[in-house]
């Protein structure tokens, strides 16, 4: 679909798939039932669900055993192809760790800081203690999800990191288990979807209660995160993948591949290609149609491409106004004169920005270093990619001497009495 003239009203009418799951009453009822079952029946409910949905065997165990870890290691070590894949994921892990260690230092997310008003005040920064990383199963295996969610937690100093992932016939991917060991994770649990969120929110006979759960998943998992977010901490409510491209030049075929690389994730994925050059837009559109015909995930792309819009603008400035309204998960910027040095002057709202025609979104999906867990559904207007900061929290402190209290007691007591809180006032007056 090519849109030649666009304004704020037209932009608001463009369908943004994925957010409607939050209002899916039928799915919400399913999630509420699962949560109640796990809350009151614990392991028994989880084992029943694993047998029903994951074809788990009779002797099914919720926790991955040490023997299963050893078997995974044997499989990897005896398969050259799998060994190479795992080694590539470890290269990725090294780059992701490098980025997040730099993030920790730059944001100064450890220790404490102190200042003085009358007494001493400040904040202490502490890591969350127990975190569950959810690694979805189903259509494919996602070791990159494991890495992207685990490493910032480790760098932040989280003491206990658990992994939850659905099993298939009671088995977990050997690649996932092998990488868990390499990342220092020794506790992996075979639970999926909404039941995973509930089990770590409340704890069961086998599964420990966690302080936080992070990671993507299906709509039931997302709805469970939202439902239980007041009981267990969450990172975000991720929706289908999104990409926007703003450009004034570029290789049409390469751009079509980048767009489709995000649209192949999910039938509800969204895409926007924005340019001043209508001929370029038409060429990218044609290349996209041609590529879909030969794609492995043709069925998914046939659906998601309905959510792909080609937008003609009169100026690049107008294009960036649209980009900042869309607030996309991924944004490619292929515009003459724009680089990492001045990108901040143009982009205000995006999950991650890929600058220049050689910087494919796929780089940040895997080995660039920045996290690929990104805000979707326009939530980049007010939220950020997953990072070390998600896994730390702050508490305030204050310390007054008797002399300092005498100095402040009058103003404090007057403020308290104005708000009708007599005992508040007396609490400072009676000390001096």
Report the percentage of the chain scoring pLDDT > 70: 95
- Residue 140 — very low, low, confident or very high, per pLDDT cuts 50/70/90? confident
pLDDT at 1: 52
Same domain, 224 and 277: no
pLDDT at 16: 57
- Number of residues that this document lists for the chain: 432
- Segments forming the whole domain that contains residue 323: 2-18+239-368
In a domain, 390, yes or no: no
* End residue of a domain, out of 322, 352, 368: 368
In a domain, 377, yes or no: no
In a domain, 49, yes or no: yes
In a domain, 309, yes or no: yes
Same domain, 30 and 174: yes
CA-CA-CA-CA torsion for 318, 320, 325, 330, nearest 10 degrees?
A: 150
Q: Mind listing the pLDDT tens digit for each residue in 87-116?
A: 999 999 999 999 999 999 999 998 999 999
Average pLDDT over residues 213-238: 96
- Residue 13 — very low, low, confident or very high, per pLDDT cuts 50/70/90? low
* Number of domains comprising the chain: 3
Note the pTM of the prediction, 2 decimals. Answer: 0.93
The residues assigned a catalytic role are: 329-330
* DSSP labels, 144-193: HHHHHHHHHHHHHT-SEEEEE---BTTB--HHHHHHHHHTT---EE---H
Q: Mind listing the pLDDT tens digit for each residue in 163-200?
A: 999 999 999 999 999 999 999 999 999 999 999 999 99
pLDDT at 23: 83
In a domain, 104, yes or no: yes
Same domain, 329 and 363: yes
Same domain, 99 and 138: yes
In a domain, 375, yes or no: no
Same domain, 31 and 93: yes
* End residue of a domain, out of 219, 234, 249: 234
- Residue 14 — very low, low, confident or very high, per pLDDT cuts 50/70/90? low
Same domain, 275 and 411: no
Summary count for the chain: helices (H), strands (E): 16, 14
What gap in Å lies between CA 353 and CA 340, rounded to an integer? 9
SS3 350: coil
- CA neighbours within 13 Å on the CB side: how many for 282? 4
Same domain, 110 and 159: yes
Residue 121 has pLDDT above 60, yes or no: yes
- CATH number assigned to the domain comprising residue 304: 3.40.50.1980
What's the 3-state SS for 55-112?
Answer: CCCCCCCCECCHHHHHHHHHHHHCCHHHHHHHHHHHHHHHHHHHHHHHHHHHHCCCEE
């Amino acid at each position: 679909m090519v849109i030649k003239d666009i304004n704020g009203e037209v932009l608001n009418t463009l369908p943004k798939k994925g957010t409607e799951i939050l209002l899916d009453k039928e799915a919400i009822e399913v999630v509420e039932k699962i949560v109640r079952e796990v809350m009151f029946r614990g392991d028994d409910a989880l084992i029943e669900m694993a047998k029903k949905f994951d074809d788990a065997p009779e002797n099914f165990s919720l926790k991955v055993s040490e023997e299963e870890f050893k078997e995974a290691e044997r499989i990897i070590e005896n398969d050259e192809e799998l060994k190479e894949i795992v080694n590539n994921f470890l290269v990725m892990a090294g780059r992701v760790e490098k980025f997040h260690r730099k993030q920790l230092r730059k944001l100064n997310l450890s220790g404490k800081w102190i200042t003085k008003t009358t007494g001493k005040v400040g904040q202490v920064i502490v890591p969350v203690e127990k975190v569950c990383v959810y690694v979805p199963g189903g259509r494919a295996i996602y070791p990159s999800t494991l890495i992207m969610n685990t490493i910032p937690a480790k760098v932040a100093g989280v003491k206990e990191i658990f992994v939850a992932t659905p099993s298939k016939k009671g088995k977990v991917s050997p690649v996932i288990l092998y990488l868990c060991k390499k990342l220092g994770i020794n506790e992996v649990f075979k639970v999926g979807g909404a039941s995973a969120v509930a089990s770590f929110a409340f704890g069961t006979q086998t599964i420990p209660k966690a302080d936080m759960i992070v990671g993507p998943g299906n709509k039931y998992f997302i709805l469970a995160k939202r439902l239980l977010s007041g009981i267990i901490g969450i990172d975000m409510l991720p929706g289908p993948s999104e990409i926007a491209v703003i450009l004034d030049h570029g290789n049409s075929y390469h751009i079509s591949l980048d767009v489709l690389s995000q649209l192949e994730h999910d039938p509800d994925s969204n895409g926007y290609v924005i340019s001043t050059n209508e001929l370029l837009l038409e060429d990218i559109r044609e290349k996209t149609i041609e590529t879909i015909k030969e794609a492995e995930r043709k069925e998914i792309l046939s659906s998601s491409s309905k959510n792909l819009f080609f937008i003609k603008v009169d100026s690049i400035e107008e294009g960036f106004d649209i980009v900042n309204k869309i607030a996309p998960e991924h944004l490619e910027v292929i515009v003459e004169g724009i680089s990492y040095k001045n990108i901040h002057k143009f982009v205000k709202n995006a999950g991650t920005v890929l600058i220049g025609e050689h910087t494919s979104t796929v780089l940040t999906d895997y080995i660039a270093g920045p996290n690929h867990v990104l805000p979707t559904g326009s939530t980049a207007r007010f939220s950020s990619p997953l990072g070390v900061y998600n896994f730390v929290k702050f508490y305030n402190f204050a310390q007054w001497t008797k002399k300092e209290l005498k100095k402040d007691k009058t103003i404090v007591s007057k403020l308290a009495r104005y708000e009708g809180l007599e005992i508040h006032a007396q609490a400072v007056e009676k000390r001096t």
